[in-house]
């Protein structure tokens, strides 16, 4: 359960997010320039275990089919992962396959259909879905005919609800006006453009070059075709970025007027992601510059009429994401912030993550493993997690912090039958330290993230992460700043 709708205190905090980095103490910057989860789930995906695999996943699907699961008949979300890209972007940490051999897509689409059929066999009947997202990799690696085939297969196995949110990630370098028209005809109504930065030197440093004019042309065309929502992805902390250069990108993006903006801090983990080894670590901006970029982006987008949704998202005040934030209905899932109710998610494709009831599951991460499981008639789930009662309580608190910046004790206590001050006595004591630093305000029956605290909201959430508190090996996560 999420916290209750925002109070005037919270609205005041969010309205003053133009707080400059010069007001953030050196102590806070030094203390919180550390790795930490983004909390698109709790527990985080690194906590998944192989003890939860294909048999356990079949069981939770069967429970949903029989209605034995709370919310078992509610509409679902579907995520489809398309791993292929024609060229590598050096910053990328996604599961991807770099290839110019487009014929490889046919085998992958065959496998996706097999996975859909196996999933449908467990669910007994086509489930209703209210949200569909194609991600990658680059979904636009697929040809028009292949995208048509994929959508036909999805419609054969799932019942698209009226008003479904159907979104797709778009690489502006691989899309034309004609392709956009085809996507609209297929039923997509939301597009996400991968921009990252408009500065030519930065683009060259990360091996992703595209002009402002090309993106502008595509966005103008998308609006003319009637797409309901356009999103732009940006990354701060890339090589050669400066606060001044990123401020220019912020102004250029604001001029394009996308409905939503996703702003991510670059996670430099070359020990985990091979393409990042091509980035010279010495060319990365220091934490103080990253903080200035974040602060400048927040104040810049606010000044252009955007609402600050949370850690990494902005939206126009009329966008459904901003409306959900105002009404206290905001959710967070594996794709980031969402308007969808706390619903089940089926993940299709290599490495995809799903959520059914109180469980998470993840498919095989490599194509050979993924294909092999399906050839044997098995769902390709290789690991996951059945959430405990403690996991569910902590997830509720962490998601309230990440989505609303506020935890009302009453909502947690009623939903989980506990007393916050007793159950989280140790955590609340840790928060007193963060309160002294100005990151949170501890009210008698609530926790409120401050304006400065939004810069470090992941650090606030980390206090309630039981596994992380006992684990000092955090280098697998991106840095908070």
Give residue-wise pLDDT tens across range 304-314. Answer: 999 988 777 89
Q: Is 98 annotated as a binding residue?
A: no
Q: Is 233 annotated as a binding residue?
A: yes
Question: Peptide bond before 168: cis, by omega within 30 degrees of 0?
Answer: no
Q: Is 458 annotated as a binding residue?
A: no
Q: What's the average model confidence in pLDDT over 275-290?
A: 91
Q: Convert the pLDDT of each residue in 110-140 to its tens digit.
A: 999 999 999 999 999 999 999 999 999 999 9
Q: Is 448 annotated as a binding residue?
A: no
Residue range 8-40+389-469 in CATH 1.10.238.10: no
The rounded distance, in Å, linking the Cα atoms of 78 and 63 is 18
Q: Is 91 annotated as a binding residue?
A: yes
Out of 63-67, 166-170, 393-397, 404-408, which region has the weakest mean confidence (pLDDT)? 63-67
Domain spans of the chain, in order of start: 8-40+389-469, 45-386
Q: Is 403 annotated as a binding residue?
A: no
Q: Is 328 annotated as a binding residue?
A: no
The rounded distance, in Å, linking the Cα atoms of 331 and 341 is 7
pLDDT at 15: 37
Q: Is 208 annotated as a binding residue?
A: yes
Q: Is 89 annotated as a binding residue?
A: yes
Q: Is 267 annotated as a binding residue?
A: yes
Rg of the chain in Å (alpha carbons): 22
pLDDT at 14: 38
Half-sphere exposure of 116 (CA within 13 A, CB side): 22
Instruction: Tell me the β-bridge partners of 361.
Output: 354, 384
pLDDT-derived band at 36, boundaries 50, 70, 90: confident
Q: Is 335 annotated as a binding residue?
A: no
Q: Is 79 annotated as a binding residue?
A: yes
Q: Is 423 annotated as a binding residue?
A: no
pLDDT at 26: 62
pLDDT at 377: 97
Query: What is the homologous superfamily of the domain 45-386 according to CATH?
Result: tm_1862 like domain (3.80.30.20)
Higher pLDDT, 340 or 435: 435
Are 259 and 230 in contact by the 8 Å Cβ rule? The answer is yes
DSSP structure string for 403-432:
HHSEEEHHHHHHHHTS-HHHHTHHHHHHHH
Are 230 and 188 in contact by the 8 Å Cβ rule? The answer is no
Task: Please say if the pLDDT value at position 341 is more than 90.
Answer: no
């Amino acid at each position: 359960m999420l916290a209750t709708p925002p109070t005037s205190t919270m609205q005041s905090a969010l309205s003053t997010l133009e707080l400059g980095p010069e007001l953030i103490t050196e102590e806070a910057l030094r203390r919180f320039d550390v790795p930490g989860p983004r909390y698109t789930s709790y527990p985080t995906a690194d906590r998944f275990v192989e003890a939860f695999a294909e048999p356990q996943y079949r069981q939770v699907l069967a429970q949903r089919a029989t209605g034995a699961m709370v919310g078992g008949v509610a509409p679902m979300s579907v995520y489809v992962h398309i791993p292929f890209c024609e060229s590598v972007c050096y910053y990328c940490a996604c599961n991807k396959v770099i290839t110019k051999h487009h014929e490889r897509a046919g085998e992958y689409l065959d496998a996706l259909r097999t996975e859909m059929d196996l999933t449908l066999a467990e669910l007994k009947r086509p489930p209703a879905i209210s949200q569909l997202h194609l991600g990658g990799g680059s979904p636009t690696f697929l040809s028009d005919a292949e995208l048509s085939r994929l959508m036909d297969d999805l419609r054969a196995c799932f019942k698209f609800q009226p008003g479904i949110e159907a979104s797709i990630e778009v690489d502006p370098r691989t899309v034309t006006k004609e392709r956009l028209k085809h996507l609209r005809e297929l039923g997509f109504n939301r597009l996400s453009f991968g921009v990252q930065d408009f500065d030519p030197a930065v683009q060259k440093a990360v091996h992703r070059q595209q002009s402002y004019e090309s993106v502008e042309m595509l966005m103008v065309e998308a609006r003319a075709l009637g797409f309901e929502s356009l999103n732009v992805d940006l990354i701060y902390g890339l090589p050669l970025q400066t606060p001044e250069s990123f401020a220019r990108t912020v102004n250029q993006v604001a001029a394009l007027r996308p409905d939503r903006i996703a702003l991510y801090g670059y996670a430099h983990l070359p020990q985990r992601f091979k393409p990042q080894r091509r980035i010279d670590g010495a060319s990365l901006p220091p934490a103080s510059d990253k903080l200035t970029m974040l602060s400048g982006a927040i104040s810049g987008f606010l000044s252009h009429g955007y609402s600050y949704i949370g850690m990494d998202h902005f939206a126009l005040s009329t966008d459904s994401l901003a409306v959900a934030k105002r009404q206290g209905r905001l959710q967070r899932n594996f794709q980031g912030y969402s308007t969808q109710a706390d619903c089940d998610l089926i993940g299709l494709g290599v490495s995809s993550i799903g959520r059914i009831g109180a469980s998470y599951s993840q498919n095989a991460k490599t194509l050979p493993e993924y294909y092999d499981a399906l050839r044997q008639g098995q769902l390709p789930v290789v690991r996951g997690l059945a959430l405990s009662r403690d996991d569910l309580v902590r997830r509720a608190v962490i998601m309230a912090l990440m989505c609303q910046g506020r935890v009302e004790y009453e909502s947690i206590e009623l939903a989980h039958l506990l007393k916050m001050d007793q159950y989280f006595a140790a955590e609340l004591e840790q928060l007193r330290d963060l309160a002294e630093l100005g990151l949170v305000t501890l009210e008698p029956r609530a926790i409120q993230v401050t304006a400065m605290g939004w810069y470090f909201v992941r650090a606030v959430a980390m206090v309630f992460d039981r596994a992380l508190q006992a684990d000092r090996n955090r280098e697998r996560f991106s840095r908070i700043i």
